[in-house]
Amino acid sequence: MSILSSFSQRAPNKVFIAMLLGTLAGMAYTMVIPLVMNVLDQGPAAFATTEPETISLFGWQVSHYRFALLFVANCVFILLARTASQVILSRVALDVTTDLRDRMYRRISQAPIAELERVGLARLVASITADVPVIVAGARLLPDLLTNAVTLAGVLGFLLFLSPSVFWFVLGCIALGVLTYQLPMMIARRYLIRARGHLDHLHEGIRGLVHGAKELKLSSDKRRDYAENVLALNERLVRETAKTGMSVMSVAQNYGNLIVLFVIGAIAFVFVNYHAIGTGVLAGVIMALLYVTAPVAALLNFVPQLSMARVAQRKVDELFGQLAHEDVADDGAPRREWQRLRLQQVAYRYPGRGEESGFHIGPIDLEIARGEIVFIVGGNGSGKSTLAKLLTLHYRAASGRVLFDDVEVDAGTVSGFRSGIAAIYSDYYLFDRPLGIDEQAARPEIERYLQLLGLSGKVSFADGRFSTLSLSDGQRRRLALLVAFLEDALLYVFDEWAADQDPTFKAVFYGEILPALKARGKAVVAISHDDRYFAAADRVVVMADGMVSSGAGTQTMLSLPEAMVASPDPVAAATDAP
């Protein structure tokens, strides 16, 4: 959708008023020339007044006082109309900026996870932070654009009134000037588009600088390499292309500024030799043209800003065009109950790069029942996390069927089934508050879990948020686990949750938390490399090269301290603790 239509949809009345005021201001601008012409003895005969009426005002002699009053009123009107028009549109622009970002947020949250992973964070952030302000700035120019366009049209009308031959000559010259102006502008635009493309890579580089700060700090060689071959390289590409673009644009702008002066020269030195034109009319024409120099230059100077806005708009459209809307018909549907989850001949393939085809898993047949603990084990890159994302319905199977009981997951049912799933992925994100819960009702439970997870001395819960997220990796994961508990889901998926827990807490996780979830009738899937605890699973699913083979588990808690095995419900354990 074009930004202009966003403006008029957001506040049609305000936009109309702003446009109207801009137009009226332009008309008032045009009035200035005829008003002044009236008092020029040497002006065109049509404007000559017979009797200059002079009055004394505050001790000053004011001739043609009616015109003088009209002139002042006109100027005051220009001031008020233009200001009001700009203020109104600036305010609408702020609302439109919010709307635009809001639309982007929704597009992102409605996009399939696979698409978000493909597009990447850096490009999305660049679009929201860099492109949106440029688009809106372009749209904010509209009142000025109108004012200047109307002024130009008015002055051209004035020229037509003075001398039709001059009018056609001026019109032809301006049209020629504007056409030739397009060539450098086109070149400049190309460079700006290229610079915007490099900016995406630069953002990715900056992300690496922040997220990889610890790795880079440890080695000056790494730091130098990254600074030179990633940051400086992308900076240089952005800078050089933007510099060339801006330089060409400056040439175009200055050429644009001179167009009217060329016209004045052409009339004063050439046109007069071919057309009979009186001195009064010539003076009027030159005055009108000088007057119109600024509006023409302003109009042409809008072009670069508008073309930058167009580049940004194209970038946003392109990016969000790539982000497909997930096929979910029942978004926000209530949770659907189920007893058994089944994957039947499910396969999934990541998109390939160039000639390389993407990693492929399946076809997989797998069943997980409520009250069952299933471990997914296997080597790195064997497809465990991919399978987890299929189980949590973030990836949609390319072929095969995912069924909860006898209901197949499709666009109409996916949302209801997702509501019953809680997952902690290896790249989980911890929000500073539990989302979508009744804070007051959950408070006692949160306090209890904080204690159970050994976090009560570290984190507290107040005003709907956790007091801190500055915790150790293991503690952050425990907090993520707490949030998952609050969801009271039907299926829990843990992707290497225990990897960075200390031995004691590892034992708590495998020996108490998982059995407690099982006892409460939850289906539990844990991706694990902890072979010491494989016995905690009812079933072990082994993955290799994207395929699964199941092995039998055992209910016996191997390696667990007796005290831990004795209390199968950790919540009860926490409550009973002295």
Ligand X SMILES: Nc1ncnc2c1ncn2[C@@H]1O[C@H](COP(=O)(O)OP(=O)(O)OP(=O)(O)O)[C@@H](O)[C@H]1O
Contacts with ligand X by CB under 6 A lie at 117, 350, 358-359, 378, 380-386
Cβ–Cβ under 8 Å, residues 225 and 275: no
- Least separation, in Å, of the C-beta of 359 and ligand X? 3
273 versus 380: smaller Cβ distance to ligand X = 380
What is the DSSP code (8-state) at residue 227? I
303 versus 388: smaller Cβ distance to ligand X = 388
350 versus 534: smaller Cβ distance to ligand X = 350
Segments in 457-546 forming alpha helices (H) = 473-487, 503-508, 514-519
**How far is the C-alpha of 374 from the C-alpha of 550, rounded, in Å?**
10
Sheet holding 491-495: strands in order across? Answer: 421-424, 491-495, 523-527, 373-378, 539-544, 547-552
287 versus 537: smaller Cβ distance to ligand X = 537
- Least separation, in Å, of the C-beta of 358 and ligand X? 6
Helix (H, G, I), strand (E, B) or coil at 349: strand
- Least separation, in Å, of the C-beta of 109 and ligand X? 18
**How far is the C-alpha of 446 from the C-alpha of 188, rounded, in Å?**
58
115 versus 410: smaller Cβ distance to ligand X = 115
Residue 346's DSSP bridge partners are: 364
Q: How many helices (H) and strands (E) does the chain have?
A: 21, 14
- Least separation, in Å, of the C-beta of 540 and ligand X? 14
- Least separation, in Å, of the C-beta of 496 and ligand X? 7
- Least separation, in Å, of the C-beta of 353 and ligand X? 8
CA neighbor of 471 nearest in space, from 458, 481, 486: 458
CA 507 to chain centre: 43
- Least separation, in Å, of the C-beta of 501 and ligand X? 17
150 versus 540: smaller Cβ distance to ligand X = 540
- Least separation, in Å, of the C-beta of 112 and ligand X? 12
Residue 218, burial from CB neighbour count under 10 angstroms (0-12, 13-18, 19+): exposed
- Least separation, in Å, of the C-beta of 125 and ligand X? 18
CA neighbor of 391 nearest in space, from 427, 342, 457, 448: 342
Signed CA dihedral, 167, 170, 176, 182: sign only: negative
Cβ–Cβ under 8 Å, residues 523 and 341: yes
Classify each residue of 536-562 as buried b or exposed e, where b means 16 or more C-beta atoms within 10 Å of its C-beta. Answer: bbbbbbbbeebebeeeebeeebeebee
Amino acid, single-letter form, for residue 565: V
145 versus 541: smaller Cβ distance to ligand X = 541
Q: Pull the structure tokens for residue 117.
A: 């992973």
Cβ–Cβ under 8 Å, residues 252 and 302: no
**How far is the C-alpha of 141 from the C-alpha of 507, rounded, in Å?**
64
The β-bridge relationship of strands 465-466 and 461-462 is: antiparallel
88 versus 527: smaller Cβ distance to ligand X = 527
- Least separation, in Å, of the C-beta of 124 and ligand X? 15
Residue linked to tokens 């622009």: 93
Q: Pull the structure tokens for residue 208.
A: 């690496």
- Least separation, in Å, of the C-beta of 375 and ligand X? 13
Signed CA dihedral, 540, 522, 422, 476: sign only: negative
- Least separation, in Å, of the C-beta of 233 and ligand X? 25
Q: Pull the structure tokens for residue 422.
A: 């809680």
**How far is the C-alpha of 381 from the C-alpha of 182, rounded, in Å?**
53
Amino acid, single-letter form, for residue 564: M
138 versus 383: smaller Cβ distance to ligand X = 383
42 versus 357: smaller Cβ distance to ligand X = 357
52 versus 358: smaller Cβ distance to ligand X = 358
- Least separation, in Å, of the C-beta of 363 and ligand X? 16
Helix (H, G, I), strand (E, B) or coil at 341: strand
Return left, alpha or beta for 375; rule: phi > 0 is left, psi -120 to 50 is alpha, else beta. beta
241 versus 386: smaller Cβ distance to ligand X = 386
13 versus 380: smaller Cβ distance to ligand X = 380
